[in-house]
Amino acid sequence: MTGSIASFALLAGTPALAQVVEPAESDNDPLADSDTATAPAAIVVTGSRIERAGFDQPTPTTILGGEDLQEAATVNIQQALNELPQTYNSVSPNQSIANTSSGTAPVELRGLGTARTLTLVNGRRFVGDNNLNFVPTNLVDRVELVTGGASAAWGSGAVAGVVNIILDDELEGLTLGAQAGISSRGDGGRYTIDGSFGTQFAGGAGHFMIGAEYLHDEGIGIEGRLDRPWFGAGVVNLGNGEFELQPDVNDLAPFTFGGTILSSSLAGQVFRPGGALSAPRDGDFFSIYDTLIVGSPLDRLGSYARLTYDVGGATLWADATFGRTDVDQPFLTDPAGSVLVSNISASNPFLSPDIQQQLAAGGDTSFLLGRFSRDTFLMQFDSERETKEVAVGIEGSLGGSWTYDAHFSHGELDSKNRIHNSSVTANFLRAINATEVSGQIVCAVNADADPSNDDPNCVPYNPFGEGAASLEAIEYVTGTQMSDSVSKLDSAAVRLQGDPFSLWAGPVSIAVGAEARWEERTETVGELDEAYAFGTTLYGDPLEGGFSVKEGFFEALVPLVRAGLLEVDVNGAARYSDYSLSGGIWSWKLGGTARYGDLLLRATRSRDIRAPSIGNLFSANSLNIRPIVDSDSEGRGSNPNYNPNPTVTILTGGNLDLVPEVGMTSTIGGSYSPGFFQGFSMSVDYYSIEIDNAIATPTVADITAACAAGNAGACSQVVRDGDGTITTVFATTQNIAQFKTSGFDFEASYRMPVSRFVDAPGTLSLRALATYVDELISDTGSNRTDTAGVVGDPIQYGIPKWRGNLRLGYDSDRLGLNASARYVGGGEFDNERTIVNGEIDPRVYLDLGVQFKVSEQFTLSGTVKNALDTDPPFITTTYSPHYDVVGRFYSVGVRAHF
């Protein structure tokens, strides 16, 4: 299948992939007659703003072809990228089951957070929090991943790297596609339909294309979790300072869906439907995580249209995008109304007379009740996100080597988020305290002698037995948290490139340009949210704010040596960014390559930035007064008036004094493509990233500990009186944290025609990718952790030391076969506790695929993900981002091109 071969050529070519590709020159190359021998005349170079043939990019880059995304049969582009070893799968349908990120699909490189990976479409930023659910997969030509700092080329956010999605803007004809899939357990069904159309007009001067993709994913609900073999695992305290992972630990948490009496003479008894009591039975007890789903449901639409017209040596263009995602899924059981209810009166009229008599006989006036109230407080997350963006631009030649391009874009993202069945704290406390008056069960606040606390709307709530509460009581104790937001992004840019002069080794190329962005966001919340009426508050205060940035950049490519087989180039770039709130800051990069025949060496050093987001800056502040422990007490004890445990005023929220984070990135490595072993190439690259002044929301303990360690910025957030006692702490979002990671990336590929061995058509291809993470350190000032090699507990944000992919493929004019093995290295389940069986074994996931070209117009495909149905390790809370929790998954598809 020639199209698939062409896309894999990008995947499996020389590891110095981010360069302009020229046609093969050798007439003796057995692959020269195939489609893989040629590529477009110019390829966007994501790691640089200079496009020039023969330029070896010093920044390591990985490329994924568009047809490989189609063959992967994933929900979106992000999930295909998450299978690469350089990425961290922090947000996906299986990681978004207990937070409000469901429906989003950002990419995260190096485990440094999604905000430190810059995502572009056709080299431009787009509104929508880097949500790749809005990008139609069927229109993607390729994806370029730059796994090194690139702020000098692209600006803020490119600390861990850049993901640039290049769309096929020159497609011709009509293409239609459909795909459907389901897990081997009969759940998780989904289907995708897509279409695209492109044509020239005005004698080839103009071109128009349009395409769209729609996906419906049913997700996998609570029943699917119960059906998986890993359900119910947990960490058991052995009582001697050690812990143990066990497969079924529900009986260690004595909570039931109908309620368990935790104190009094009836402690240990559980309520059955109808309110009767009995001793517990097997399967009675549950964890709060047992109401989690396996995968989020999703409906998404991504569309894109582009019009270009050549006039007078210039190309005018305009494009438009529209995307939408819808999510409606069960959330956690609200712990504010579920886990523990205190002081239930022993004379509560919802208790049967027999139970009231037993409690009275035991001398009990009240008791504690443990209950997971899924019949009332099983929260439901409902989210609608819609994005619209338009852009216009021009590109052309000024003569000679000089080219230019410019564009302006405007985008908007509208989000509507709802969390239903949330506990309204005051109402719940009133409703749970019931009494009987004149034969009627009423809320006690309406029956006491104090009329000031009366609530005529209060409906008494019966917690004894699942399903016992009335609909009216449920409506009274629950509410809907809501957040509506609008984000806007305006962007303008101009770039000029050319060769101003030549040196002894060749022409010097430069790129110079200017950019500007205007970002704003408005978020409104419901009345109950703003009043902090919910027990588990997820939204809270409204938000309104924005900022602008004006930037200028310069980049130069200087050839230093051209002597026989030796070629040496130096590449340097600098960018000045002037932010409306924090002022100016520089980012820069210096890199070089040295090629000697088949061997290429490369190295870079860069200073990269990540500016604070609107949320970091403008989140509303709130006050809290409570006692704290002063961790910076050294030398103060000599003052008898000093108080190390004062009650202080704590201010939380956004911070307009934030400045951009600064990351220093180093890479060094090389690639080798031996002429004597045609079709083979390999590369090794070392990376090191250190981020200072990282933006985080610290605790009071973090701030005082960081101050004690000498962090002047942390000390400035602490106000003390004349005796040294803390009076106020500004625990707002701050530049207080540090991150550091380092490791190695490996890549090897081999392509050869089958005819080298037998008289048969087709091409064999082999590609291996691997990443070794030596360290992944986060330092908040009070806590420094290294989670490289911590693979079991998702809360720790760990990452395996080793991850790798191995792909074997066969392609011919009619048939394509591929097999991929994904390796996830083993490690510790938890590095904070001594777990006797806490060493996690590696996992290998096998994926299989086939494509068959029935005719020139029609192609059939099929895939099996996780063909061996490999189980994840023990799952104790939510899901680790590194393991497949769905199991074996089948997909079939058809594509037609006319």
pLDDT of residue 798: 85
> What span, in angstroms and rounded, lies between the C-alpha atoms of 863 and 508?
48
Show Cβ contacts of residue 552 under 8 Å, excluding neighbours closer than 6 positions.
512, 513, 514, 515, 575, 576
The per-residue b/e assignment along 2-32, b for 16 or more CB within 10 angstroms, e otherwise, is ebbbbbbbbbbbbbbbbbbbeeeeeeeeebe
Rounded to whole angstroms, the Cα distance separating 809 from 11 reads 12
Mind listing the domains of the chain with CATH numbers? 44-222+296-330+382-420+483-524+535-619+654-697+733-897 (2.40.170.20), 252-295+331-381+421-482 (no CATH)
Percent of the chain with pLDDT over 70: 92
pLDDT band at 52 (very low <50, low <70, confident <90, very high): low
**DSSP states of 808-824 as a string?**
EEEE-SSEEEEEEEEEE
- Distances in Å between the Cα of 736 and the Cα atoms of 596, 691, 706 are 45, 11, 8
Query: Is 688's pLDDT higher than 90?
Result: yes
Residue where the block lists tokens 């009076």: 727
- Name the residue with higher pLDDT: 710 or 121: 121
pLDDT tens for residues 198-247? 999 999 999 999 999 999 999 998 888 877 877 777 788 888 888 888 87
Q: In the structure encoding, which two tokens stand for residue 753, read together?
A: 């025609």
CB atoms closer than 10 angstroms to residue 335: 16
CB 534 within 8 A of CB 481: yes
Residue 446: CB atoms within 10 A of its CB come to: 17
Q: What does the pLDDT average to over 472-479?
A: 96
Q: Where are the alpha helices (DSSP H) in 531-620?
A: 614-618
Beta-strand ranges (E) seen in 504-582 are 506-525, 543-563, 566-579
CA-based R_g, the chain, Å: 30
Residue with the bigger pLDDT between 489 and 732: it is 489
Q: Answer whether 70's CB lies under 8 Å from 695's CB.
A: no
Say if residue 40's pLDDT is above 50: no
- Which amino acid makes up residue 560? L
13: Cβ contacts below 8 Å, ≥ 6 apart: 21, 681, 749
| Rounded percentage of the chain residues whose pLDDT exceeds 90 | 60
What is the pLDDT confidence band of residue 639, given thresholds at 50, 70 and 90? Answer: confident
8 Å CB contact between 484 and 524: yes
Asked whether residue 839 carries a pLDDT value surpassing 60, the answer given is yes
Closest by CA position to 351, among listed 465, 470, 437: 465
Integer angstrom CA distances of residue 73 from 519, 861, 892:
35, 10, 9
Question: Any idea of the CA torsion for 161, 167, 169, 174, to the nearest 10 degrees?
Answer: 170
pLDDT of residue 148: 84
Confidence check: pLDDT of 580 > 50: yes
Residue 606: the pLDDT is 97
Q: How confident is the model at residue 697 (pLDDT cuts 50, 70, 90)?
A: confident
Give the number of other CB atoms < 10 A from CB of residue 502: 10
For 297-352, write each residue's pLDDT tens digit. 999 999 999 999 999 889 999 999 999 999 998 888 887 776 556 678 999 999 99
What does the pLDDT read at residue 23?
30
Query: Does position 796 have pLDDT exceeding 70, yes or no?
Result: no
CB 828 within 8 A of CB 840: yes
CA dihedral angle for residue 831, residue 833, residue 835, residue 841, rounded to 10 degrees? -20
Spacing of C-alpha 817 from chain mean position: 31
Q: 499: which 2 tokens?
A: 């060769």
What local confidence, expressed as pLDDT, does residue 230 receive? 77
pLDDT at 228: 82
Nearest to 372 by CA among 260, 293, 478, 477: 260
Q: Check residue 629 and report its DSSP letter.
A: -
Residue type, 608: D
Place of tokens 């009423």: 442
Please tell me whether residue 855 adopts helix, strand or coil conformation.
coil
Q: Is the pLDDT score of 437 beyond 50?
A: yes
Sequence-ordered strand ranges (E) for 706-762: 718-720, 726-730, 734-753
List, as one string, the DSSP characters of 303-372: EEEEEEEEETTEEEEEEEEEEEEEEEEEEEE-GGGTSEEEEEETT-TTS-HHHHHHHHHTT-SEEEEEB-
Mean pLDDT, rounded, for 818-842 = 90
pTM of the predicted protein model: 0.88
Residue-averaged pLDDT of the chain: 87
Query: Across the strands, what pairs with 896?
Result: 176, 858
Of 152, 109, 159, which is closest to residue 664 (Cα–Cα)? 159
